[in-house]
Amino acid sequence: MKTNKVTRALIIAAGRGIRLNEHSQEIPKCLISVGEHSIIETILTTLQRAGIQEVVIVTGYKKEVIEQRLGEGSQLGLKLRYVNNPDWHKKNGVSVYAARHYFAAHEQFLLMMSDHLFAPELLHTLMQEPITAGEIALAVDRKVNTIFDIDDAMKVVFDGSHVKNIGKMLREYNGIDCGLFKCTTGLFEALAAAMRKGDCSLSDGCTQLIAAGKMRGVDIGAAFWIDIDTPEALAFAIEKLKV
């Protein structure tokens, strides 16, 4: 399979992040500082250094605060575009689906959450993974005993090349979803199929792709990442990354 050059990314930054309210002081979670920069600015810098040129950001909660802070992206060496999701209080699949018109039919792009930090080598490994039309690839951490908040983590069953199951409540699993994907627009088709009463999670869309044999997994090896969802995770990330 040929590896297509990826130059665009999609970041989901629509939610409120209730568990970090004491640190966010009512600003969007992605703007919480990890050292000198916010979480999302740290993500954007990593993307730019990896060769990403344009990022589509789905906003919702206090969208104007995010847009004012980041602007059009020139200070970060990127072109930023914004998509407003008025239904940001719904599950995250709705926010992903809101960006469907911003990607061409056969385009490959990255997808990530605005509260996940990751090492550059993780991103490089994922970007090198070849995928075909209709497929997506998920970064998978097989170091399950090192996960910071395992109870809240999205678990996966991974056979070394494909993801076979996904869910937070899985009793048997051998990997953790890192919240970082390489996608085709087949993801939007899967989300559309998963929609029930206008609501669905990203993992609901992934379940559709798993059933079709179109969800690949990429072992991240020793690369570092963290989902910053609690004050404890934030403190750990600051210490670990030394930013």
pLDDT (0 to 100) of residue 243: 45
Instruction: List the one residue out of 146, 152, 113, 123 whose CA is nearest residue 29.
Output: 113
- Which amino acid, residue 6? V
pLDDT (0 to 100) of residue 178: 97
How many CA atoms lie less than 13 Å away from 138 in the CB half-sphere? 33
With a cut of 60, say whether residue 3 has pLDDT above it: no
Least confident of 10-19, 29-38, 61-70, 123-132: 10-19
pLDDT (0 to 100) of residue 35: 83
Cα 149 from Cα 135, distance rounded (Å) = 29
With a cut of 50, say whether residue 239 has pLDDT above it: yes
With a cut of 90, say whether residue 230 has pLDDT above it: no
Share of the chain above pLDDT 90, in %: 80
Q: How confident is the model over 174-218, as pLDDT tens digits?
A: 999 999 999 999 999 999 999 987 889 999 999 999 999 999 999
pLDDT (0 to 100) of residue 16: 83
The answer to whether residues 135 and 215 touch, using CB atoms and an 8 Å cutoff, is yes
pLDDT (0 to 100) of residue 226: 94
Domain boundaries, the chain: 8-241
Give the pLDDT mean for 40-57.
98
Give the pLDDT mean for 214-241.
91
- Which amino acid, residue 183? C
Share of the chain above pLDDT 70, in %: 94
* Largest pairwise CA distance in the chain: 47
The pTM (predicted TM-score) of the whole model is 0.94
Give the pLDDT mean for 98-122.
96
pLDDT (0 to 100) of residue 212: 97
Report the mean per-residue pLDDT for the chain: 93
Top CATH class, 8-241: alpha beta
